[in-house]
Amino acid sequence: MSVLVMKFGGTSVANIDRIRRAAKRVGLEVAKGHDVIVIVSAMAGKTNELVGWVNEISPLHDAREYDAVVSSGENVTAGLMALVLQEMEIPARSWQGWQVPLLTNSAHSAARIEEIPTDNITAKFAEGMRVAVVAGFQGLSPEGRITTLGRGGSDTTAVAFAAAFDAVRCDIYTDVDGVYTTDPRIASRARKLDRIAFEEMLELASLGAKVLQTRSVELAMRYNVRLRVLSSFEEPSDEAGTLVCAEEDIMESNVVSGIAYSRDEAKMTLVSVADRPGIAAAIFGPLAEAGVNVDMIIQNIAEEGRTDMTFSCPTDQVKRAEKALSDARAAGAINYHDLIADTDVAKVSAVGIGMRSQSGVAAKMFKTLSDEGINIKVIATSEIKISVLIDRKYMELAVQALHDAFGLDKAA
């Protein structure tokens, strides 16, 4: 019997009507012959209410109690979904995390999944149950306490179940209808992708395409779980959504699959740093300790024993970065003439698996920007991504121009 995992986010189960609508989709898959594991989030707004109470009591709360409180939202949805399915005469029952049990480590509020024993649910499928509804986002610690998996925990739960049960696919129902070549609010010709490789999805997710949590994509990649992202507000169809899958499952990779952007980047330059072995460590060590997420790093060619060092970080970490660096200078660990922060920049990236085998992508990107009169301030490249920092006012223009230049408005 083939197992399918379906995950419904908070907006997809926001009230009884929406739970009914989600259950109908589950019914369609049951009718196709699948045994279905449904992973549910809390009804939209419920988790925020619970988190609000905990924070009202204590901003520095015991994470174990936080987890016990906050996990209750998913438990409610799981029971309600099971009841709706039963009303549709589909044999179903709910499982809370501790009942599966979904075993995690003890890192409360950010627990990692360690094991999902399958015998309990498999036995029920064998007895004729067709749908196991599992409360997402939660697990059981070795100490027997409830844990939660942190941000995006329900997506991660779904992928972990798909891996444990060797599911044919893991469908993530959300309020967007798939992964786009870029943000449609910026480029009206943005197009939904039918398929995208795990690696590309990871680059797009971390760059701001907030469709799937990075962690769940990483997990799917590791266990080769075919992930489908689709909207619970569209008519069901086999073509719906975007399939996130292994590179081998994509016939003809696009050279560039998507254009990502990030508005909240700052460029910082340490002017005239005394150049010596170990200087990079002396600069970026204190930044890491201060919790600054450094992204791109550029070191210009040194002249006469001095060099300029440029890096980017989120704009809201600029003050922290400045303090860390001036403290390091005061302590004599580093030496520089000036520190210039440019908070009027944005990052634009082209992402695509095809870059690996195709040359000239960077050149095409630079020429496109040059043709639009956009000056590139910093360049960073990886195997499947090219990123540039530019003036923020040109960000939309750059995204549109690159989207057209790489032909993303046309189906592959």
Binding region for a second copy (CB under 8 A): 16, 19-20, 50, 53-54, 56-58, 61-62, 64-66, 68-69, 72-73, 75-76, 78-80, 82-84, 86-87, 93-94, 96, 98-99, 144-146
CB of 155 to a second copy, least distance (A): 22
Q: Which candidate, 80, 14, 82, places its Cα nearest to that of 49? A: 14
> Which of 96/368 has CB closer to a second copy?
96
Is residue 26 within 8 Å of residue 19, measured between CB atoms? no
CB of 116 to a second copy, least distance (A): 16
Non-local CB neighbours of 51 within 8 Å, separated by 6+ positions: 66, 70
Q: Phi/psi zone of residue 219: left (φ > 0), alpha (ψ -120 to 50 degrees), beta?
A: alpha
Q: Which candidate, 374, 369, 373, places its Cα nearest to that of 403? A: 369
CB of 407 to a second copy, least distance (A): 49
> Which of 78/355 has CB closer to a second copy?
78
**Residue 49, number of CB atoms within 10 A of its CB:** 12
> Which of 100/386 has CB closer to a second copy?
100
What are the structure tokens assigned to 209, written together?
Answer: 């395409």
CB of 246 to a second copy, least distance (A): 37
What are the structure tokens assigned to 399, written together?
Answer: 């995204």
Question: 353-381 burial by CB neighbour count: b if 16+ within 10 A, else e?
Answer: bbbeeeeebeebbeebbeeeebeebbebb
CB of 113 to a second copy, least distance (A): 20
CB of 302 to a second copy, least distance (A): 55
User: What does 146-174 look like in DSSP terms, one character per residue?
Assistant: EEE--TTHHHHHHHHHHHHTT-SEEEEEE
> Which of 49/327 has CB closer to a second copy?
49
d(CA 149, CA 157): 8
Non-local CB neighbours of 73 within 8 Å, separated by 6+ positions: 41, 42, 43, 46, 47, 50
CB of 353 to a second copy, least distance (A): 44
**Residue 293, number of CB atoms within 10 A of its CB:** 11
d(CA 404, CA 196): 19
Q: What is the largest CA-CA distance in the chain?
A: 80
> Which of 118/381 has CB closer to a second copy?
118
Residue type, 390: I
> Which of 110/271 has CB closer to a second copy?
110
> Which of 16/126 has CB closer to a second copy?
16
In 3-state terms, what secondary structure has residue 181?
A: coil
> Which of 146/207 has CB closer to a second copy?
146
CB of 174 to a second copy, least distance (A): 22
What phi and psi values does residue 44 have, to the nearest 5 degrees? -50, 130
> Which of 98/336 has CB closer to a second copy?
98
> Which of 50/298 has CB closer to a second copy?
50
CB of 75 to a second copy, least distance (A): 5
**Residue 15, number of CB atoms within 10 A of its CB:** 12
Is residue 82 within 8 Å of residue 39, measured between CB atoms? no
Residue type, 14: A
